[in-house]
Amino acid sequence: MKERKITRQIRVGSVPVGGGAPVVIQSMNNTKTADVEATLAQLNALSSAGCQIGRLAVPDAEAAEALAKIVPRSPLPLVADIHFDYRLALKSVANGVSALRINPGNIGGEAKVKAVIDAARERNVPIRIGINGGSLEKDLLARYGPTAEAIVESALREAAIFEKYGFDQVKISVKSSSVAKTVAAYELLSEKVDYPLHVGVTEAGTLLKGSVKSAIGIGLLLNEGIGDTIRVSLTGDPVNEVIVAKEILKDLGLRKEGVEIVSCPTCGRTKVDLEKMVAAVETALGNMKADRPITVAVMGCEVNGPGEAKEADYGIANGRGQGLLFRRGEVIGKYKEEEIVAALLREIRRDQKEKQ
């Protein structure tokens, strides 16, 4: 992995973004922002899953008004996502959001962009310039076609407006639904600016497809040292976005926390219901806050099972209807298939408690 590219740092509420700070996970609610209680419930679920910055759509005055009630109770700093109407941005800032996401190109001209910049500056609120490959300016499309160059040119054009007014609390995203185009756009942009970059593949799709696309796109960029905050876009419950984002960061070695579960793919030798076992372990430990990374291996048989289980902090090596339980390389018991997961969880929880 290449060294992280050091960008300028901004702060979204209390969360530093860029400037060498750890890569930040963010997500976006799919509740109606005007529905205060549903929005807060989802923000709490996102926060519990490990999300660090929340984003809310603010499509109308009702949503902007609701922010006054949401912001004081939100567990996360909030970004208001605004299109078309600059007054919604002004209201959102007045109601205490920690950041704005706008596309200056559709906010209604430079005077309106300036009004938003002035309000943001007064409250120390950073702004994300969010360029989307699907909504590029006509002249850029005519000159470059629907390319990474066009996306980057659009971002630079918008950034120039902010620079003209001396506002540098900016981060930029240049997303496309094509992985190759997204990667090319961020590579190009990161050569040209030192603003922090919000990285993601937009409209990536459903859980399976979207996770693969995001892991490739975000993973390739992070591996090149590009990206200060990430959002995995998935159709459906945004909590899944946070889970996938955490896995991407863990697999790249950018997060060393929580529980890493190793499980075999199963094959004709498997003599237990391994899928059920792994699901139970994942559900129980997925959100556990360990003081250091813990590896747990759940293996199907005696071929690779004992080896993997021994190397992990905790492990199960299954046989026919029963399995061996390992703790730090030692066998500590033999349990029936129905009992072994509970025994594993008991050991892990006891060790964690003893350390507290």
What's the token pair of residue 160? 């120039």
Using DSSP bridges, classify how beta strands 53-57 and 78-82 pair: parallel, antiparallel or unpaired: parallel
- Pick from 41, 141, 267, 342 the residue near ligand SF4 by CB under 6 A: 267
In the complex with ligand SF4, the residue whose CB is nearer, 164 or 276, is: 276
160 binds ligand SF4 (CB under 6 A): no
CB of 263 to ligand SF4, least distance (A): 8
Minimum distance, C-beta of residue 123 to ligand SF4, in the bound complex (Å): 56
Nearer to ligand SF4, 162 or 335 (CB): 335
Minimum distance from residue 272 beta carbon to ligand SF4 (Å): 9
**Which residue in the set 30, 178, 266, 295 belongs to the binding site for ligand SF4 (CB under 6 A)?**
266
Question: Helices marked H in the chain — which ranges?
Answer: 36-49, 61-70, 86-94, 110-123, 138-144, 148-164, 179-192, 207-223, 238-251, 274-285, 305-311, 337-355
User: Closest approach of Cβ 55 to ligand SF4, in Å?
Assistant: 40
**Cβ neighbours of residue 350 closer than 8 Å, sequence gap 6 or more:** none
CB 318 within 8 A of CB 272: yes
Among 31, 287, 304, 352, binds ligand SF4 (CB under 6 A): 304
**Contact residues for 48 (Cβ-Cβ < 8 A; gap 6+):** 287
Q: Which is nearer to ligand SF4, 191 or 275 (by Cβ)? A: 275
Tokens of 190: 């990161």
Out of 238, 300, 315, 323, which residue is the one contacting ligand SF4 (CB under 6 A)? 300
296 binds ligand SF4 (CB under 6 A): no
Distance CA 230, CA 242 (A): 10
Query: Is 248 or 297 the residue whose CB approaches ligand SF4 more closely?
Result: 297
Window contacting ligand SF4 (CB under 6 A); options: 24-32, 111-119, 129-137, 265-273: 265-273
**Is the Cβ of residue 54 or residue 305 nearer to ligand SF4 in the bound state?**
305
| 183 vs 196: CA distance, rounded Å | 16
Identity at 328, one-letter amino acid code:
R
Task: Look up residue 3 and give its two tokens.
Answer: 């060294």
| Interface with ligand SF4 (CB under 6 A), residue from 305, 312, 315, 316 | 305
User: Residue 320 interacts with ligand SF4 (CB under 6 A)?
Assistant: no
Shortest gap between Cβ of 337 and ligand SF4 (angstroms)? 14
Helix (H, G, I), strand (E, B) or coil at 312: coil
Residue 142: is it exposed, middle or buried by C-beta count within 10 angstroms (0-12/13-18/19+)? exposed
Query: What residues make contact with ligand SF4 under the rule CB under 6 A?
Result: 264-267, 269-270, 299-301, 303-305
